[in-house]
Amino acid sequence: QKEVEQDPGPLSVPEGAIVSLNCTYSNSAFQYFMWYRQYSRKGPELLMYTYSSGNKEDGRFTAQVDKSSKYISLFIRDSQPSDSATYLCAMTSTSGTYKYIFGTGTRLKVLA
């Protein structure tokens, strides 16, 4: 079993829909959680990061962490065709090594 699990999709939604992307993990030492967006043939780019449990909002994006369930989510409101990409979750502990463990990514397609 992988340390981080992510549904590969693809996930197709109509423009304007609310999108929910999720990851589960098994290592309770993880404290820092990130979401990256990767467009086709590009490198991942950091969207959001959160520490420990709770919510964080940035524009149309909300990141949510539930450490008791070992479950993190990224919500995208009013989704746009430009949001079509692969979304990767990543996480690390506070051990000082800063080694990120990535999920395999969920492909999202927002249809105009």
Partner 1 sequence: DARVTQTPRHKVTEMGQEVTMRCQPILGHNTVFWYRQTMMQGLELLAYFRNRAPLDDSGMPKDRFSAEMPDATLATLKIQPSEPRDSAVYFCASGLARTYSPHGYTFGSGTRLTVV
Q: Which residues bind partner 1 (CB under 8 A)?
A: 32, 34, 36, 41-46, 49, 88, 90, 92, 94, 96-105
CB atoms within 10 A of CB 109: 14
Give the nearer residue to partner 1 in terms of CB position, either 17 or 48: 48
Give the nearer residue to partner 1 in terms of CB position, either 14 or 95: 95
Using the Cα atoms of residue 78, residue 108, residue 31 and residue 43 in order, give the sign of their dihedral: negative
Q: Least separation, in Å, of the C-beta of 98 and partner 1?
A: 4
Q: Least separation, in Å, of the C-beta of 14 and partner 1?
A: 26
Cis before 10? omega within 30:
yes
Q: Least separation, in Å, of the C-beta of 105 and partner 1?
A: 6
Give the nearer residue to partner 1 in terms of CB position, either 34 or 74: 34
Q: Single out the residue of 94, 83, 97 nearest to residue 74, CA to CA.
A: 83
Cα(12)–Cα(56) distance, integer angstroms: 25
Give the nearer residue to partner 1 in terms of CB position, either 72 or 90: 90
Do 34 and 28 contact (CB within 8 A), yes or no? no
Q: Least separation, in Å, of the C-beta of 12 and partner 1?
A: 19
